[in-house]
């Protein structure tokens, strides 16, 4: 849909983000997602800033965050996102066994969500906090 | 949509599952999801068996599994499932801070999934394993 | 979101559709969906025409069509549509047992869809027709 | 995302499931979905058991169940699942005319779900059973 | 999944729709969507009639309508629909800058929808009209 | 799910965002979405910043952006988001007629997306730009 922006053709503004991505990830290349977003530098900068803030260690560790991200991407069937974040999760320690268990949970939740919808299950009082 | 099956009115087959649920969770009550599924005992038994196998500790710990489950439920907007599994996650140690970070990741992934769709980003060769 | 159009307040154009709905369904009332659409008569007329053509007997019988309709509505979690089309399906012969089996299939498919996404399963050549 | 398990390379545990799949379907091959799941034998066994129980004849006939399954898969845009279950449905008698009518219903429901959402239509009292 | 109907092979009924599509769009070809629907002429005619009525100028201009259509298609990840309606939107004046801003909004809404779901935000009284 | 943060109870950091929201919208109150996000000030600040940047006038006007936002929210069935952004759109000039046409397009796209999925329509060469 768009012509991706390669490093050689990038403006200084875009290059600065590319440099920051490579530094943060300790790699010497930038993946296609960012090269597509670079066609609109504001989107590139805002999205990268959000990714840096949100996906880094906090109360949750980075691998757990990758699995949460992947659960969304598998549910929505975003092929690019599944590939890129499965790679990121593996880099952070995800094994084949962990991925298989992860998919079991994603499948179960997608199924149980529809059983709850279809049976019209009312929320238990004990589950309401406020 | 269905009349839920209370313990007093349950068949022996259904009561056996209710007992197992309460034992596994160390509680003295059963939440509405199971009482709705009990209208079709095969569904009750199959679903409870899957939950026990899939949600227990393995290569991933139980809290991480709850967060994965919640990520699906929030993405699909299943109100019952959000309430019941947020309660389950809290019981397993999820704090308000963890839930807030969790939602940041879910929001980010749902957004980035659409940026990838809309820009038609091709999967990088480096992300393909086989 | 909108003020529904009651029969008493309806234009002749809208009343004609209401009459046709009641005649087709052999009832003396019109459900809220149509009263909401009646705020924009073109939408009312187009949608009712499509429902009449699509949901009536053809190569598939009307009950099977209601179940297909319900499978979409449960997957999308449309509460109104689940209630109205479960009622329609019951009128056409759906039993509690059939609804339970229906939900088992809907749950299974929603789960298996994500296993296929997450494992990135390639389509078998034998499943391609052309 | 995973290296699929061919029959020749499969463990006895996996082969037993493959044999059961081929016997149940009266074929001499196993489709890719199962070969991907076989990388995690528990998932393979649980899923195949669920498919056998849920998709076989009961209060609903097998072809109706395939159409319900397909309605979910088309709504979720699972390309693998559409191909594999359209093939299964054809084997059970689905004609081109039936598939076209099926898609008309799936399209209509996906449209009407959003009209109900957007107009905020309240559920009619007559549609509430309990 | 189906063998598309080329103009040369089309019935008079189908050709009439093709002619109308080409006339309305001032082109000399018909895109694949219509050639697939032509396998079931009732679907072709009903869908084309709806597109003509709904997508033409009214209280909203045609480009705004294309952007609304695209927002749905990007959210649902319908690759065909994204390509065909991005092309239609460009023909009606959509620039690269507009498409980038459009995707920013689609991403933001998909994210905020989940924050609202996950935090269980109650609707403000001021937002209820009736 | 969370206890919303009222202005009186808010920290200076949160109050500053509330002031900015009220100033930008020329109102004297803050809607529940922000009061829920305020339980995690980083999320509040990041989201408000994104909304301000993305939803303001650019190559697309603010009302068109609200309609794009609404198309996502209706498709995802986010009740809170439909109510809050329909109110925002009305403030920016959306009439009942415009909303009705908007919903016609959203319904049509959700339907056509599934026809494209189910028929497996290949993308026309003419729709590929690069």
pLDDT for the residue E77: 97
pLDDT for A129 equals: 74
ipTM of the complex: 0.97
HSE at residue E110, side-chain half, CA atoms within 13 A, is 30
Considering all CA atoms of chain D, what is the largest pairwise distance in Å, rounded to the nearest integer? 59
Which distant-in-sequence residues (6+ apart) come within 8 Å of A45 by Cβ? A13, A17
Write the residue in F39, F76, F77 that is nearest to B100 by C-beta: F39
DSSP state of D35: H
pLDDT at F130: 58
Q: Report the residue from C74, C103, C117 with minimal CB separation from A74.
A: C117
Distance from C21 to chain E by nearest Cα, in Å?
A: 20
F119 contacts in chain D (CB < 8 Å): 103
Which residue among B40, B77, B78 places its CB closest to the CB of C100?
B40
For residue A130, what pLDDT band results from cuts at 50, 70 and 90? low
- How far lies B34's CA from each of A38, B89, B91, C122, D66, in Å? 49, 18, 19, 36, 26
Please state, in angstroms and as integers, the Cα–Cα distance from residue F54 to each residue in D57, D77, F71, following that order.
53, 29, 16
Query: What residues of chain D lie within 8 A of the CB of B40, using their CB?
Result: none
CA dihedral E42, E44, E48, E49 (to 10 degrees): -10
pLDDT for E103-126, tens place per residue?
A: 999 999 999 999 999 999 999 999
pLDDT at F2 over 90: no
Residue A84 CB coordination number (10 Å): 24
Separation of alpha carbons B82 and B69, rounded Å? 9
User: Which of F4, F113, F124 lies closest to E31 in CB terms?
Assistant: F124
Closest-CA residue of F relative to D101 is F115
Question: What confidence score (pLDDT) does residue B14 get?
Answer: 98
Q: Do B130 and D3 touch (CB under 8 A)?
A: yes
Q: How far apart are the first and last CA of chain E?
A: 46
CA distance D4 to chain C (A): 9
**F76-97 core/surface letters (b: 16 or more CB in 10 A; e: else):** bbbbbbbbbbbbbbbeeebeee
- Find the CB nearest C39 among F77, F100, F104: F100
The predicted-structure confidence for D26-76, as pLDDT tens digits, reads as follows 999 999 999 999 999 999 999 999 999 999 999 999 999 999 999 999 999
Residues A25-57 pLDDT 10s = 999 999 999 999 999 999 999 999 999 999 999
Min distance A105 CA to chain B CA atoms (Å) = 6
How do residues B7-32 score in pLDDT, each as one tens digit? 999 999 999 999 999 999 999 999 99
d(CA A12, CA A34): 15
Pull the structure tokens for residue F88. 């925002």
Q: Give the predicted TM-score (pTM) of the model.
A: 0.98
Chain E residue numbers touching C1 (CB-CB < 8 A): 129-130
For residues D113 and C81, the answer to whether their CB atoms sit within 8 Å is yes
* Interchain pair F108, E69: CB under 8 A: yes
DSSP single-letter state for residue B124: P
Interface test with C, best of B3, B40, B78, B123 (most C CBs within 10 A): B40
Q: How far apart are CA A89 and CA A65, in angstroms?
A: 9
In the numeric block, the tokens 């949750």 are attached to A60
Residue F99 has pLDDT above 70, yes or no: yes
Q: Which residues contact D73 (CB under 8 A, 6 or more apart)?
A: C109, C113, D81, D82, D85
Contact indicator for C75, B78 with CB cutoff of 8 Å:
no
Q: Which residues of D47-80 are buried (b: 16+ CB within 10 A; e: fewer)?
A: bbebbeebbeebebebbbbbbbbbbbbbbbbbbb
pLDDT value of residue B2: 85
Each residue's pLDDT tens digit, B47-103? 999 999 999 999 999 999 999 999 999 999 999 999 999 999 999 999 999 999 999
First CA to last CA distance, chain F: 46
Helices (H), chain D: 12-25, 32-37, 41-55, 62-76, 79-91, 96-119
Q: Which of D12, E109, A126 lies closest to F74, judged by CA?
A: E109
C96: closest CA of chain B, how far (Å) = 8
Inter-residue contact C85 to D121 (CB < 8 Å): no
Residue A119 has pLDDT above 80, yes or no: yes
Q: Kindly identify which residue of chain E lies nearest to residue C129, measuring between CA atoms.
A: E1
What are chain C's partners, defined as 3 or more CB pairs within 8 angstroms?
A, B, D, E, F
Q: What are the tokens at E79?
A: 């690759």
> What is the least distance, in Å, from the CA of F42 to any CA of chain D?
31
Condensed to tens digits (0 to 9), the pLDDT of residues F28-87 reads 999 999 999 999 999 999 999 999 999 999 999 999 999 999 999 999 999 999 999 999
Closest CA to E21 of E59, E47, E60: E47
| pLDDT-derived band at A97, boundaries 50, 70, 90 | very high
**pLDDT over 70, % of chain F:** 99
Quickly count: other Cβ atoms within 10 Å of residue E42's Cβ.
15
Contact D72 C106 (CB under 8 A): yes
Q: Do C100 and B1 touch (CB under 8 A)?
A: no
**Contact of B81 with A116, CB cutoff 8 Å:** yes
pLDDT, position E34: 98
Asked if residue C130 has pLDDT above 70, the reply is no
- Using the predicted structure, report yes or no on whether residue C129 has a pLDDT greater than 80: no
* Measured distance CA(F107)–CA(F109) in Å, rounded: 6
How many cross-chain Cβ pairs, A to F, lie less than 8 Å apart? Answer: 17
d(CA A86, CA B66): 19
Assigned token pair, C56: 């009536």
Helix ranges (H only) for chain F are 12-25, 32-37, 41-55, 62-76, 79-91, 96-119
Rounded to a whole number of angstroms, the distance from the CA of A104 to the nearest CA of chain D is 7
D5 and D39 in contact (C-beta within 8 Å)? yes
- The band of B130, judged by pLDDT with boundaries at 50, 70 and 90, is low
Helix A62-76 and helix B62-76, axial crossing angle in degrees, nearest 10: 40
Among chain D, residues having any CB pair with chain F shorter than 8 Å are 70, 74-75, 77, 79, 82-83, 99, 102-103, 106-108, 110-115, 117-120
Predicted confidence (pLDDT) at residue D130 exceeds the cutoff of 70: no
Helix locations, chain E, DSSP H: 12-25, 32-37, 41-55, 62-76, 79-91, 96-119
Predicted confidence at residue E130, as pLDDT, reads: 58
d(CA A82, CA A106): 13
Contacting subunits of F (3+ beta carbon pairs below 8 A): A, B, C, D, E
CB atoms within 10 A of CB E39: 19
For residue B36, give every residue at least 6 positions away whose Cβ sits within 8 Å of its Cβ, in sequence order, or none. Answer: A115, A116, A119, A120, A121, B2, B4
- Cβ neighbours of residue C76 closer than 8 Å, sequence gap 6 or more: D75, D110, D113, F77
Tokens 């935090």 belong to E119
Identify the residue among B5, B32, B41, B130 best suited for mutation to test binding to D, counting D beta carbons within 10 A and taking the highest.
B130
Question: From first to last of its 130 residues, what are the pLDDT tens digits of chain E?
Answer: 789 999 999 999 999 999 999 999 999 999 999 999 999 999 999 999 999 999 999 999 999 999 999 999 999 999 999 999 999 999 999 999 999 999 999 999 999 999 999 999 999 999 987 5
- Kindly list the distances between the CA atom of residue F128 and the CA atoms of D10, E79, E84, F122, in Å, as whole numbers in the listed order: 42, 11, 9, 11
**pLDDT value for D38:** 98
């Amino acid at each position: 849909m768009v012509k991706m922006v390669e490093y050689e053709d990038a403006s200084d503004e875009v290059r600065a983000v590319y440099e920051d991505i490579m530094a943060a990830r300790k790699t010497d290349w930038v993946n296609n997602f960012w090269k597509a977003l670079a066609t609109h530098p504001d989107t590139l900068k805002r999205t990268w800033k959000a990714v840096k803030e949100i996906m880094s260690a906090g109360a949750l560790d980075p691998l757990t965050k990758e699995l949460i991200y992947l659960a969304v991407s598998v549910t929505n069937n975003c092929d690019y996102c599944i590939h890129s974040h499965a790679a990121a999760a593996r880099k952070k320690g995800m094994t084949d066994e962990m991925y298989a268990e992860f998919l079991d949970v994603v499948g179960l939740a997608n199924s149980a969500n529809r059983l709850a919808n279809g049976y019209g299950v009312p929320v238990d009082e004990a589950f309401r906090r406020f």
